[in-house]
A = this chain, B = another copy of it.
Amino acid sequence: MTSCHGPLDPADLQGRVHTHLTAFLAAQNPRLAAISEAMGPVAEALQEFVLDGGKRLRPAFLYWGWRGAGAPDSEQILKAASCLELLHACALIHDDVMDGSDTRRGRPSVHRRFAALHRVESWRGHPEAFGTAAAILLGDLCLVWADQLLDECGLDQESLRRGRPVFDEMRTELMAGQYLDLLEQATGGTGVDGALRVARYKTAKYTIERPLHLGGVLAGADIALLEAYSAYGIPLGEAFQLRDDVLGVFGDPEVTGKPAGDDLREGKCTALVAAASVRADPGQAAALRRLVGDPLLDEQGVTRLRAVITDTGALAEVEAMIAMKLAECRACLDRIELPAEARSALAALAEAATSRRV
């Protein structure tokens, strides 16, 4: 293990995760090519999707869960942490199929990319059906590779044996959370509490608590530390989801990589929309009923809904909830016994995950 004593800045950590993902995917190329040269587009699509990706928040939480338990910096733990990006790639690729989303991070989603390939090649059958099928398989491949990367990370067998049940739990919770989210949309939502329950499994546990736990358990953390990670991670994760909900309505598409108002168009039962519904006067309620979930919602409709969400006080309510949950998370961080570097990194991650620009 190499040791690192200076505080790791987020860009450094992102860079090291990127290096491990690049190396892992490069190693899969000859394996796929050995099966058939026709696998080329699959390898390319996964490389672009995984290596283009975002803030690497989940690997960061796993890494600091490990360091928080007193274990030293190493490439092995960063390799293990990188596996969460492959798991997340599966979640996003499948999620885009389920939502019928056209874009992801400002580019065509995987199913659209393969539908376009089908069209360009003038293949037989329906381009959309081919795109969907290919995206299901590419997501499956990411799910398998997440597992493989964790296995190959180079940590000792005893650490990996401890980590596996946490990894299993995390993946089951992810799939269950996604199903509950579907159900929430299908049943028309159960209000702010229902939205927060979905957020707990789909986001808070999956993005923050379980990565911290996995890092902690790999390092041999005791139960007290794992509980402290939960106390820090759950409110932070809920705040992160609430911030995501706000950005889904008010965010800059240049920053979010998603067209403005997509959540509104899809009719997502976010806490933000639920709060607006509770607070709406009859005219505002009618606008919400008419416009939320309208697949053809235009810029004017988005502007109208933004006004309703602001005027009802729902935006201010959700901002207050974010602030409260963030305060809860910070107070908890003050109480945990942690190496100084881990404490300041977790404090910075809490800000980064909930800042208005993320």
Contacts and interface: CB of A to CB of B under 8 A. Distances in A.
B36 A197 contact: yes
Interface stretch (A169-177, A255-263, A296-304, A329-337): A169-177
Copies in the complex: 2
A32 B124 contact: no
Q: Secondary structure of the A side of the interface?
A: helix
Nearest to A94: B136
A221 B207 CA distance: 40
Contacts of A286: none
A169 B141 CA distance: 11
Interface in A89-143: 90, 94, 97-98, 100, 118, 121, 123-125, 129-130, 132-134, 136-137, 139-141, 143
Interface residues of A, number: 60
Complex A-B, nearest 5 residue pairs according to Cβ-Cβ distance, in ascending order: A98-B133, A123-B186, A144-B171, A148-B168, A141-B175
Interface of A: 28, 31-32, 35-36, 38-39, 42, 90, 94, 97-98, 100, 118, 121, 123-125, 129-130, 132-134, 136-137, 139-141, 143-145, 147-148, 151, 157-158, 161, 164-165, 168-169, 171-173, 175-180, 182-183, 185-188, 197, 201, 267, 293
